[in-house]
Amino acid sequence: MQHMAKILVIEDENRMAELLKRGLEESGHTVGTATNVSEGLRMFAYEKQDIIISDIMLPDGSGFDLCRDIRRQNETVPILILTALGTTDDKLEGFDSGADDYMVKPFDFRELNARISILLKRCQIPTVECIEYADLKVYLRTKSVSRNGQSIILTPKEYNLLLFFVQNPERILTRTEIAEKVWDTHFDTGTNFIDVYINYLRKKIDKNFNTKLIHTKPGMGFIFSYENPY
């Protein structure tokens, strides 16, 4: 059974806002709407929300700035960007600003509901406190990471990518599998989207340490291992 959520929709186009509100309420969710960044932030501060859904182009600012403001207040509430801007650069900026997921308009409500369900499941309190691999520790409740005792600050997407690696150590993970399990999307072979985030993660968890954990298998994918398998 799908968990019902309290959702804040930030969308300035009235027709789209009503469409989202009606469709999400038909799925059993409770929905509040805001038409701009400042109103959205006020509503977020006033009442606890389970999920934020926001457009990028808003009258008084950017949905990316909204994400950053929310992340300064709350590191865990899921944020889904829903926009007509669908380039790789737009998606990267969305994830870098703290968004957990990104959908491009026009969209299918079945897919939106599926994305919401996945985000809600990720927010459930885990029973395992920490996953350790070599000198790396991933703390599931706080979504914090350390290596050899040094704290490592990751964006939400970098954290989810690392979590997928530590949950699947010492086996080849293809770009397609990473895209489907971490981004919940099909991999577009015409982009280097996955490789960009692998590089982000490598700079944070491997660059300053002698033992490298993320290895590339040319033509196949990546493997997470404290021993170089090649």
Domains and CATH numbers, the chain: 6-123 (3.40.50.2300), 130-224 (1.10.10.10)
Per the listing, tokens 């002698």 go with 210
Per the listing, tokens 């977020």 go with 44
Q: Which of 100, 120, 122 is nearest to 27 (CA)?
A: 120
Answer for the pair 215, 222: CB distance below 8 angstroms, yes or no.
yes
Tens of pLDDT, residue by residue over 20-59, are: 999 999 888 899 999 999 999 999 988 889 999 999 999 9
Residues of the chain below pLDDT 70: 1-3, 124-127, 184-191, 229-230
pTM of the prediction? 0.64
Half-sphere exposure of 179 (CA within 13 A, CB side): 15
- 3-state percent helix, strand, coil for the chain, nearest multiple of 5: 40, 20, 40
Sheet with 6-10, strands from edge to edge, namely 30-34, 6-10, 51-54, 79-83, 101-104
Residue 126's pLDDT is what? 57
Residue 227's pLDDT is what? 81
Residue 228's pLDDT is what? 74
Rg of the chain's alpha carbons, rounded to an integer?
A: 18
Distance between CA atoms of 86 and 103, rounded to whole angstroms?
A: 8
122 CB-contact burial (10 Å; exposed 0-12 / middle 13-18 / buried 19+): middle
Distance between CA atoms of 27 and 122, rounded to whole angstroms?
A: 19
Residue 81's pLDDT is what? 94
Amino acid (1-letter code) at residue 3: H
